[in-house]
Amino acid sequence: MILVTGGTGLVGSELLRQLIAQGKSVKAIYRNNISAHLTEEENKKVNWVKADINDVLSLEDAMQDVEQVYHCAAVVSFNPKKKQELFHTNVEGTANVVNACLTNGVKKLVHVSSVSALGRIRKGETITEQTQWSEETNNSAYGKSKYYAELEVFRGIAEGLKAIVVNPTIILGPANWNDGSSALFKKAYDEFPWYTHGVTGFVDVRDVATAMIRLMESEISGEKFILSAENRSYKEMLSMAAEGFGKKPPQREAKKWMGELIWRLDKLKSMFTGSNPLLTKETNRTARAKVYFDNSKILKALPAFQFRKMEDTIRETCAIYQERIKS
């Protein structure tokens, strides 16, 4: 039996889709509602269990008869107000998952981390799995929470658990485009006029799930792997998505001073209204940074595995969104 935490999210749902397509017996944890990313028929093939990774008793119950665990549940936010929630779910929750795996004799764990756990990016440095975390003052709370979560996984490994950590870059797929990385598609559809010269890694959610399954089925343990298809600029990605929708691409450069002003005004607004800021100090910094990731380790570990081209991911995802808009 396989257990997926975070089965209602983008990565967890895609994992479930691929696992049930392979005829696997799968349990998935949910807190409020089962996955909206899966069809009704797909959801029927999943044994949905109401549990919470921060509720040890419900988590222990969910782990019964489980041999493999994919830990995808996490809070993703660059809002400084959510620091406590980030650490509660991402660090304490992961510690609970690791402990439950050890207690219940789980054979292997694959943990979804993030490239944010590799620390604040150094200028001119290509990021690999060997990039060392440094306790710098400008590491994001999210990055810290994912780094400390990784430490919990490696603690489990030291205690005898077989486990792997994956560090995806920006994950793209047809999720709710009002949230997270999928907001890129909404910006393109709405003909968002601004762009920055920032560069980062991007990866298709289907490739993240496939790589995780293959790593689970391998003999590899005690390793971490960057999952990134291509390093691309935000301008390139927005322009490709705009083309996919038949919309105008971004044409106006967002100057540095603009971002510095907007995140401060947004912070002030959120203090008075309680709303989440659209731009934070961290997301403004990220949008301007040029960060390059090396994906050679995963390609060497899984010789038959290849990443999809970003042009294909963008085109196919835009087509799905257009179908949703029509219906």
What is the DSSP secondary-structure string of 18-46? Answer: HHHHTT--EEEEESSS--SSS-HHHHHTS
Q: How many domains, in total, are found in the chain?
A: 1
Question: Is residue 270 domain-resident?
Answer: no
In a domain, 234, yes or no: no
Q: Domain for residue 257, yes or no?
A: no
Indicate the pairing of strand 230-233 with strand 199-204. antiparallel
Give, for all 327 residues of the chain, the pLDDT tens digit: 999 999 989 999 999 999 999 999 999 998 887 877 788 888 889 999 999 999 999 999 999 999 999 999 998 887 777 889 999 999 999 999 999 999 999 999 999 999 989 876 666 689 999 888 877 656 788 889 999 999 999 999 999 999 999 999 999 988 766 667 777 787 777 877 777 778 889 999 999 999 999 999 999 999 999 999 999 988 888 888 888 778 887 777 766 645 554 546 555 555 556 656 555 556 656 665 788 999 999 999 999 999 999 999 989 988 888 887 777
160 located within any domain: yes
Residue 197: DSSP 8-state: -
> Phi/psi of residue 311, each to 5°?
-60, -40
Assess if residue 119 is contained within a domain.
yes
Q: Please check whether residue 193 lies inside any domain of the structure.
A: no
CATH of the domain at 123: 3.40.50.720
Domain that holds residue 297: 2-174+201-229+292-309
The answer to whether residue 326 is domain-embedded is no
Query: Global pTM?
Result: 0.89
Helix (H) or strand (E) holding 110: strand 108-112
Q: How far apart are CA 311 and CA 319, in angstroms?
A: 12
Specify if 73 maps to a domain: yes
Cα–Cα dist 194/251, whole Å: 6
